[in-house]
Chain A
Amino acid sequence: GEDVEQSLFLSVREGDSSVINCTYTDSSSTYLYWYKQEPGAGLQLLTYIFSNMDMKQDQRLTVLLNKKDKHLSLRIADTQTGDSAIYFCAETPGYSSASKIIFGSGTRLSIRP
């Protein structure tokens, strides 16, 4: 079955770049996503990338996709305290026709001064 894996924690210094990594198993994934969850809140879609793309940039966010290695990363430039949250990698399986999303376990990003 499909599986999405992420490291659980990441700590970076304010102003540095954060890189959150994710691996997935479904080679037929159509879309891959990054969601942000702040404490006690729902999920906010940060960005997504179609499986035939290698890179997508949106302001401070850069998504890199290595389809051969089934590796997705999210880079946050100039990390700020407001970026502290849990970041979920997710994918839409290739077999899904109902917008089903499979989530990773989430990476908790903490910012140190």
Chain B
Amino acid sequence: GAVVSQHPSRVICKSGTSVKIECRSLDFQATTMFWYRQFPKQSLMLMATSNEGSKATYEQGVEKDKFLINHASLTLSTLTVTSAHPEDSSFYICSATSSGGAPDTQYFGPGTRLTVL
């Protein structure tokens, strides 16, 4: 099946610094990538949807200047958490989909655990 990787898997940073998380589709071209945030023992919250070569669409309540998304190619999307604060600590998961099948199956990455000190 399709594989999506995320890097890094775990990151610890100081408050005020920026952190970049990469999401890659390894064996398929992803027309759309999604970024989710998951709090402990809670569901996934969709943060934004990104299409290659265009600006990301952010969900209501998600600060676009805080969470910068770049979908530079059909296999790579990045999420940068700018000026991170402890409340940004969370599990960030990306998913990727390619157009074609019904439904457009989302393939999920393994997640990145961010801890902001």
Contact = CB atoms under 8 A, between A and B. Distances in A.
Interface of A: 30-31, 35, 40-45, 48, 88, 92, 98-106
A99 B32 contact: yes
B67 to A, nearest CB: 17
Given A98-B57, A99-B97, 20 more contacts: A40-B111, A40-B113, A42-B4, A42-B6, A42-B93, A42-B109, A42-B111, A43-B44, A43-B93, A45-B105, A45-B108, A48-B103, A98-B32, A98-B49, A99-B103, A99-B106, A100-B46, A101-B106, A102-B46, A105-B42
Interface of B: 4, 6, 32, 34, 42-44, 46, 49, 57, 93, 95, 97, 103-111, 113
* Secondary structure call for the B interface: strand
B104 A99 contact: yes
B103 A103 contact: no
A102 B45 CA distance: 8
A42 B106 CA distance: 12
B12 to A, nearest CB: 15
Contacts of B6: 42
Nearest to A6: B43
B42 A43 contact: no
Contacts of B49: 98, 100
Given A42-B109, A92-B103, A104 B46 contact: no
Contact of A42 (B32, B57, B110): B110
B69 to A, nearest CB: 14
A88 B46 CA distance: 14
Contacts of A43: 44, 93, 95, 108
A106 B32 contact: no
